[in-house]
Amino acid sequence: MKNKTNLMFGIVFAVLTISFISAAGIVSPYWESYPLEMHFGETKVAEFTLQNTVGTEDITVKAEIKEGQNIATLEKDTYTAKAGTADTKIPVTITIPKNFDKSVQQVKLEVRTITPDQGGMITLGAGWTTSFNVILSEKPVEKNTLIWMIFALIIALIILILIILFLVYKRR
Amino acid sequence: MKKERGVYILFLLVAILLISMISAGILDKIKTITGKAESPVPQNISITVVGVHPVVIEYIENIAPQQPTEADTPSPKTVIFEIRVTDPDGVADIDDSSVKAWFEKLGETSKPKVLCSPNGNIDTDTNSYLCSINMNYFDANEDWQIRAEASDFGNKTLIEDVLSVFFTYQELKAMTNSQPSLTWPNLVPGETNKTANNDPAIITNTGNYEGNVKITAYDLIGVDLTPFPANRFTIGETEGGECNAPATAKQMSDSATTIVATTLGGGTANSLYYCITTIPLVPTQSYSTTTSWRVVYDATP
């Protein structure tokens, strides 16, 4: 009972953390109103950039695909940005299968700092979620392919006419 | 008779010729006779030939997507690009001091016009210029139009481009949190409305995204692994109101709770105050987070 009346609640390391400011940001190449356009069977890499220009400490973040795991993958799940840098890349590889059955797929990436254990208090880690749509369409037929297709159709038409003429001639 | 008429005509012609010579300054010449020896007087003659055609802004460089710099640290993003100005009357007719560029976006304040620097000739009637414009971290993301104008000495008409060239300013989700750890004074079970002793935690938007700051709380764990429930904590934006959920504060839980919506602008900040509404009956010991609470900048409400 005595234990429950004299609660000591951690204040031990407060002074150590006063001067530390948590700061970072992430730059997205695509976002809610700026979608990525892709074709079926295509692969693209969307490079997100971790910035740590304001903070005075290196930061390590954990990245995770929260939506769109069926098309999006990460090379690894932790990235470190040194203090004063703005160029730590987090590449997300997006591969659309040829038989993919959607025309729009949302991809959501969550990045959060991995806060070192400071003990005896509540620690607050920063994080960002960023999401964008991948809009899918059939690959447009290339000009060369189109020319060959027309050429093949003409040849087929000529052969068909010749066969018909041959049959008509044979009947007579 | 005919011969006489011819002589009269000839005489008349000679007389007209003489009159024109006299009127061309023979009297003036007489006036200059001073008796002194005549010496040559040097004369500088300068003429400026200007063209009649207006200039044309024939090219604006396509700029790759640009990344904002978090809180403009160490400096705003400088976007450098080339424009080319043509004048059919030749490059000498282009007024370098009139070649300016700026960025504009619907619904946003345009970037001020900047003077572009000469960057050499492309050919006899086209000059190249380099322009440099700063973008701030809080400038809106998406497409900005690159605009340019120029004039010349002859035609003098100020011509704006009609090229419709855009560049993408990317989205930067960034924030600073002034207080990444929270502490409380010693607490006694049953006490109510105990506020943190090192708040507020000031969240500053250091990017160009307006979104929601969400906090996910987790139970604190004691040395003997006794949990201290996360739902005893509340957060408010005003000092004194942080314990009064749901009126002026939000109760925490292990699912993401929207605390504030951020806005753009240099140094826009929100202050967060923390409270424990009721101290539960738990053993005397220190309690701390084994998993950091997450302060997440999210798009969804």
Query: Tell me, what amino acid is at A114?
Result: I
Mean pLDDT of B15-30: 48
Asked if the C-beta of B285 comes within 8 angstroms of chain A's C-beta atoms, the answer is yes
Domain boundary among B169, B192, B227: B169
**pLDDT confidence band for B12 (50 / 70 / 90):** low
Mean pLDDT of B32-48: 63
Distance of residue B229 Cα from the nearest chain A Cα, in angstroms: 12
Burial B45-62 (b: 16+ CB within 10 A, else e): eeeeeebebbbbbebbbe
Distance CA A129, CA B301 (A): 12
Q: For residue A4, what pLDDT is reported?
A: 40
**How much is the ipTM here?**
0.74
Mean pLDDT of B227-256: 92
Tell me: pLDDT of B37 over 70: no
Judge if B240 and B270 occupy the same domain. Answer: yes
B137, part of any domain: yes
Q: A124 CB contacts (<8 Å, ≥6 apart)?
A: A22, A115, B177, B179, B180, B181, B182, B201, B215, B292, B293, B294, B295
Nearest-Å Rg of the Cα atoms of chain A is 29
Judge if B153 and B180 occupy the same domain. Answer: no
Asked if the C-beta of B188 comes within 8 angstroms of chain A's C-beta atoms, the answer is yes
Domain count, chain B: 2
CB neighbourhood size of A149 (10 A):
11
Asked if the C-beta of B254 comes within 8 angstroms of chain A's C-beta atoms, the answer is no
Judge if B131 and B181 occupy the same domain. Answer: no
> For B286, which of A10, A14, A129 is closest by C-beta distance?
A10
B282, part of any domain: yes
Q: What is the pLDDT of residues A57-77, one digit of tens each?
A: 899 999 999 999 999 999 999
Q: Select the highest-mean-pLDDT range: A91-95, A126-130, B205-209.
A: A91-95
Domain that holds residue B240: 175-298
CB atoms B284 and A18 under 8 Å: no
B22 DSSP 8-state letter:
I
**DSSP alpha helices (H): ranges in chain A?**
2-5, 14-17, 143-171
Query: Tell me, what amino acid is at B55?
Result: V
Domain boundary among B116, B139, B169: B169
B135, part of any domain: yes
Q: What is the pLDDT of residues B194-224, one digit of tens each?
A: 999 988 999 899 999 988 888 999 999 888 9
B264 DSSP 8-state letter:
-
**Which residues of chain A are within 8 Å of residue B255 when distances are taken between CB atoms?**
none
Nearest-Å Rg of the Cα atoms of chain B is 40
B26, part of any domain: no
Judge if B187 and B127 occupy the same domain. Answer: no
**pLDDT confidence band for A121 (50 / 70 / 90):** low
Mean pLDDT of B115-125: 97
The partner residues of A136 in beta bridges, in order of sequence, read A38
Mean pLDDT of B157-167: 96
Judge if B183 and B231 occupy the same domain. Answer: yes
Pair of tokens at residue B180: 């990444």
**Which residues of chain B are within 8 Å of residue A86 when distances are taken between CB atoms?**
67, 69-70
Give me the residue label for tokens 């009139």. Answer: B98
Q: For residue B5, what pLDDT is reported?
A: 62
Q: For residue A125, what pLDDT is reported?
A: 85
Distance CA A81, CA A59 (A): 5
Roughly how many angstroms between the first and final C-alpha of chain A, as a whole number? 116
**pLDDT confidence band for B14 (50 / 70 / 90):** low
B3, part of any domain: no
Domain boundary among B143, B169, B195: B169
Selected residues 56-115 of chain B with any CB under 8 Å from a CB in chain A: 65, 67-71, 73-74
**Which residues of chain A are within 8 Å of residue B293 when distances are taken between CB atoms?**
122-125
Q: B241 CB contacts (<8 Å, ≥6 apart)?
A: B247, B248, B249, B273
B45, part of any domain: no
Asked if the C-beta of B207 comes within 8 angstroms of chain A's C-beta atoms, the answer is yes
Judge if B75 and B147 occupy the same domain. Answer: yes
B158, part of any domain: yes
Domain range A2-139, its CATH number among 3.40.50.620, 3.40.309.10, 1.10.287.3510, 2.60.40.10: 2.60.40.10
Q: For residue B300, what pLDDT is reported?
A: 66
Q: Specify the CATH number for the domain of residue B98.
A: 2.60.40
Judge if B105 and B202 occupy the same domain. Answer: no
Tell me: pLDDT of A118 over 60: no
Judge if B164 and B206 occupy the same domain. Answer: no
Lowest pLDDT segment from B8-22, B80-94, B141-155, B189-203: B8-22
Asked if the C-beta of A169 comes within 8 angstroms of chain B's C-beta atoms, the answer is no
Judge if B165 and B181 occupy the same domain. Answer: no
> For A25, which of B179, B206, B299 is closest by C-beta distance?
B206
Judge if B205 and B137 occupy the same domain. Answer: no
Tell me: pLDDT of B95 over 90: yes
Judge if B110 and B188 occupy the same domain. Answer: no
**pLDDT confidence band for B6 (50 / 70 / 90):** low
B21 DSSP 8-state letter:
H
Domain spans of chain A?
2-139, 141-172
Asked if the C-beta of B293 comes within 8 angstroms of chain A's C-beta atoms, the answer is yes
**Cα B241 to the center of its chain, rounded Å:** 39
pTM of this prediction exceeds 0.80 = no
Tell me: pLDDT of A20 over 90: no
B9, part of any domain: no
CB atoms A25 and B185 under 8 Å: no
Pair of tokens at residue A47: 């490079």
Tell me: pLDDT of A56 over 60: yes
CB atoms B180 and A20 under 8 Å: yes
CB atoms A129 and B197 under 8 Å: no
